[in-house]
Structure 1
């Protein structure tokens, strides 16, 4: 039987694997070759899922694949019921697909206020940001090889997202040089990555600008309160159930979570 390229059938299979927590040994259809094909699957899955989208993750496309895919970023939905506030120092349990792919990423989180009609640029996009917080994106998919077949495959399964931990705010973000802020990521107390946002293309506000343009092209509104997980700062750190992840921003702002299966 031929491998399906019907985005609805692929979306149904991906959703079933997530709901049943069943690992996918093969991708459930033809690999999407373009971002348009990937977002068609993603849009179908969002519609079938029915949950409210509370934010969007933004990830980077490898430099050697930028020309092929027409851009340097991808996005996927973060559902409201998988966004956890840990700003008071809580250590929430964040579930992943233990037999699939799972990772934790230190990220800057932007909260949209009103997004007006018209064009934005890298400077004016700040005007529609209401708050900035620290956080951890939990990436997970029942397809263990999700990141091995290109960004379109990654984007097709919710951008490989499984949740978001909201850490403490950066209250003075308008006057802070976020780009040079040092960030460290630890797993079970061992540092697994350290970097600044200088590694993130044009930084977190570039991610917000990308998201506005991409969602508008897909006909998706951005209501106030929508979160943007702006991209991995220290890398994509694979993680397993039972482990503990902690991100430290500017040497003093901490956000943590425990990973469950």
Structure 2
């Protein structure tokens, strides 16, 4: 993308966020993760909302990615979110980490051990919605430019000392309107939740701040719901997060 094309994409997505409107597509699709991240950052600067959390992906083969989540859209469980806020009503049950101290940017990458010592762990629901009218029909790089089609985060209770937990093999239960939809051991897409937190810290040009949260990949797939639905994700030994979608 050219500089004017990046600027135009940021303008379009920022206006959609401010106005609560939806668009069909970007005029030009980003050709790289770096371009999509740059659009995210420029949208955030235009909208002016503090960033309270991130989503991060760290595929074993492939480039790490991240998406910014506005602090106003981080809610404590049990939470209510309206169709006006999150019109697509997508849900991903995840394990997330809250940074307990600042990890400033530096030239030497942070190690897994350093990051693990600087986070608490918590169950979350990532609420998926988008500025695109049909987000899953858009190319992956357009979705990434729109913060990975993230809309919000619902947070459960956090655990400061989680060294006894076998995070990749937690028993996970996903409940919708009181009925269990999924019950299984494990389910993280890479079997390595902390890798997303490590990747995020080393991606951020300005580092991360104490209190910010990173969520690290769906254990439940990406189902979509309707107004009135109640969704709960529960991790044995960790706790649960719940969201209700209001009309």
Shorter-chain TM-score tier = 0.7 to 0.9
- Residue ranges of structure 2 left out of the alignment (5+ in a row): none
Q: After TM superposition, where is structure 1 displaced by more than 6 Å over at least 4 residues in a row?
A: none
2-structure distance, mates of 1:146, 1:179? 29
Measured against aligned partners, the alpha-carbon deviations of 1:147-177 in whole angstroms (never above 9, x if no partner) come to 3333311110122111111102235412211
Structure 1 residues 82 and 59: CA distance shift in structure 2, 3 A: same
**Worse-matched range after superposition: 145-154 or 231-240:** 145-154
* Residue 96 (structure 1) shift: 4.5
1-structure distance, mates of 2:184, 2:140? 23
Matches of residues 87-126 of structure 1 in structure 2 within 5 Å?
91-96=78-83, 101-112=88-99, 113-115=101-103, 117=106, 118-126=108-116
Q: Establish whether residue 239 from structure 1 lines up as the match of residue 225 from structure 2.
A: yes
Structure 1 residues 150 and 260: CA distance shift in structure 2, 3 A: same
Task: Tell me if the contact between 1:11 and 1:44 (Cα under 8 Å) persists in the aligned partners.
Answer: yes
Instruction: Tell me how large the CA RMSD over aligned residues is.
Output: 2.6
1-structure distance, mates of 2:111, 2:53? 21
* Residue 189 (structure 1) shift: 2.6
Structure 1 residues 187 and 155: CA distance shift in structure 2, 3 A: same
Structure 1 residues 7 and 36: CA distance shift in structure 2, 3 A: same
Matches of residues 20-59 of structure 1 in structure 2 within 5 Å?
20-24=19-23, 26-59=24-57
Q: Which of 232, 236, 246 lines up with 1:250 in the alignment?
A: 236
Measured against aligned partners, the alpha-carbon deviations of 1:67-87 in whole angstroms (never above 9, x if no partner) come to xxx42x42111111111122x
TM-score scaled by length of structure 1 = 0.82
Partner of 2:163: 174
Task: Tell me if the contact between 2:55 and 2:214 (Cα under 8 Å) persists in the aligned partners.
Answer: yes
1-structure distance, mates of 2:90, 2:207? 28
Task: Tell me if the contact between 1:97 and 1:141 (Cα under 8 Å) persists in the aligned partners.
Answer: no
1-structure distance, mates of 2:74, 2:240? 17
Number of residue equivalences: 242
Partner of 2:75: 84
Measured against aligned partners, the alpha-carbon deviations of 1:114-133 in whole angstroms (never above 9, x if no partner) come to 3254322333321222x111
Structure 1 residues 99 and 230: CA distance shift in structure 2, 3 A: closer
- Residue ranges of structure 1 left out of the alignment (5+ in a row): none
Task: Tell me if the contact between 1:100 and 1:143 (Cα under 8 Å) persists in the aligned partners.
Answer: no
* Residue 97 (structure 1) shift: 5.5
Measured against aligned partners, the alpha-carbon deviations of 1:93-151 in whole angstroms (never above 9, x if no partner) come to 1234589533111111201123254322333321222x111111111113133233333
Partner of 1:153: 142
